[in-house]
Every structure is written in structure tokens, then in C-alpha cells.
Amino acid sequence: MSVRLIVRTFSELCVTVGALIVLFVVYVLFWTGVRAAGEAAGQIDTLRDQWARGAAAAPASPVPSTTSAPSGSPSPASPSPVPPPAAAAYRDGKPFAMLYIPRFGKDWEWPVLENTRVRTLQKGIGHYAGTARLGARGNFALAGHRRTYGDPFKDFPKLRPGDAVLLTDGTTWFTYRIDKKPYRTVPTDVGVIDPVPGKSGYDGPGRYLTLTTCEPEWGSSHRLIAWAHLDGTRPVSAGRPTAFHS
């Protein structure tokens, strides 16, 4: 085999490999974003259709009223309080809420789906199954991609104490407030999504939100975590919370 043939074969191989690399980069940087935009839009449409039909579930555990109850026990003739209807369980892989983080831009919105499997995170933000429900006592924990599939948490490091994180389930707005800058940890540090998450600074039970994503930006050796507390609720009928404009 001549040297010329060897060089030509090697050159063709390099061109082929280079073309494949370019196609892969286009897929990662562009096509996954296109797919994610379409998937997320579909999930948002599904949610809004459900809510328009009145199919939104009531929150499982609303924030207690600050109004004091009258002192003394009810009279024997008083009727027993009627317990609220049980909230519908989140459906595996299905959307149940919308997430808005003003810090990431006025047009930033993503659907929240139940579970954090790979396929689910390609459609939106995933809720860690087994953690608290939205607005409930405990830790409502979410995960999202930092890069690829729409880059939902690309600007995660920009989160700062006091930033608003808003969610709605179609009946209620929930406003959470970030308590500290994102915390960097390893993926095996599962305590970050405990009912009272470790290293969060919280010293007792409450109504918390955990946001998680990959670190570094184009890798997954670590995680970035942000924690927030529930700052308030508002009926959807009363309009958007003022935190959208803060």
C-alpha cells in the first residue's frame, strides 16, 4: 500500500470523524433544545387545558391562617369540622404545576412533572418522588437540566438570597424565597432533599423548596443546590403575586 493511499485514507477518516463530531455538537446544543421546547410546550398546554376544565387539584396542605381561633371548646351542638377533600396524587411522569423564576428572565417558565427520570427531565422540571407536595410541610424538591434540553437551569449560579421562586397548581400561587447562594456538593449527598435538608441552615420542620442541577455547567460530577422557604400563598383568582415584579 502506497504512502499516498494511507494518507488519503487517514484524511477521509478524519473528515468523517470530524463530521460526526459536528453533528453530535449540533444535536446536543441545538436539537435537544428544539425537542425540549416542543415537549415543554406540550406539557404546558396539557396543564392549562386541565385547569381550564377545573381539573386542578387542591393543595394537600395549605399554609395555616394567621387568624387566631376563638378560645374555648366548641359546644356539644356545634357540628364537627368537615375535613378538606384529599388532594389527588401526582401522576407519575405527568405535569402538575408551573414554575417561574423571575431571576432567570420574564419569559422563563417550565412545567413541573412527577419523578426525575431521564425521559421526564427532557420535558421539564422533575419533582423528586417521595418528597413533599407543593406548599406542604416538608421539602418540595425539584431537579432540572443545567445544559441541554432547553438549558432550564443554565443561570442557576445567579440565584441570590431573597429571590422569588413561584409555582402554581392552577388554584393557588406559592411564593418561595431563596435563603442562601447555591451550595455545591456531590451527587451522593442525598441529605439535601430530606424533610429538613442537611446543610440548608434550617433547624426544624417547615415548608421548604429544594432546587437541584448539575455542576459544572457541562458536566455532572457535582450538584448545585438552592433552598427556599414558603413565603406566602395567593389564590389564582386574585392574580399573579407581586413577586413577579420584584
Place of cell 449527598: 189
Q: Give dist(CA 43, CA 228) in Å, integer.
A: 25
Buried b (16+ CB within 10 A) or exposed e, 185-215: beeeeeebbbeebeebebeeeebbbbbbbbb
Q: Is 223 in the active site?
A: yes
Exactly one of 133, 145, 146, 207 is catalytic; which is it? 145
In terms of DSSP bridges, do strands 125-127 and 110-114 run parallel, antiparallel, or are they unpaired? parallel
Q: Is 214 in the active site?
A: yes
Please give the helix or strand (H or E) that residue 244 lies within, else none. none
For residues 156 and 213, the answer to whether their CB atoms sit within 8 Å is: yes
Cell numbers found for residue 216:
459544572
Q: Give dist(CA 150, CA 38) in Å, integer.
A: 10
Which has the closest alpha carbon to 43: 95, 89, 93?
A: 95
Exactly one of 127, 146, 147, 214 is catalytic; which is it? 214
Exactly one of 127, 146, 147, 223 is catalytic; which is it? 223
Q: Is 145 in the active site?
A: yes
| CA-to-CA dists, residue 55 to 47, 65, 95, 237, angstroms | 9, 25, 12, 15
For residues 97 and 168, the answer to whether their CB atoms sit within 8 Å is: yes
Which positions are annotated as active-site residues?
Answer: 145, 214, 223
